[in-house]
Amino acid sequence: MFVILFGALLTVAGVVYMAGAVLRRGRLSDPAPSPVVPIHPGGNFVKSGPTLEPRRRGLGFLGLSQNWPGLLMMGVGLILLLSVVL
């Protein structure tokens, strides 16, 4: 029973670590107002509001070099969970 609980704890801790690492890397919202962009010359304007999507961030936050501790915790936790089943 202890092995199952420890494996589940490691798996959840790995996911929480990786989510926290992404959140610590930068702001997720842009508080500055977005510029007004014309749709067509007729005068209809659309203003896009603030978004949680950062500009020019890319997928660098998914890299192995930043997330290896979380992946290691998840891997060890899954191995412990599978070792009890098999």
**pLDDT tens figures, 25-55:** 766 554 555 555 555 555 554 455 566 665 6
Contacts of residue 80, defined as CB under 8 A and 6 or more positions apart, other chains included, come to 3, 4, 6, 7, 10
Confidence label for 58 from pLDDT (cuts 50, 70 and 90): low
Output 46 or 16, whichever has higher pLDDT. Answer: 16
**Which among 75, 85, 83 has a CA at the least distance from the CA of 11?**
75
Over 60: is that where the pLDDT of 83 sits?
Answer: yes
pTM (2 decimals)? Answer: 0.61
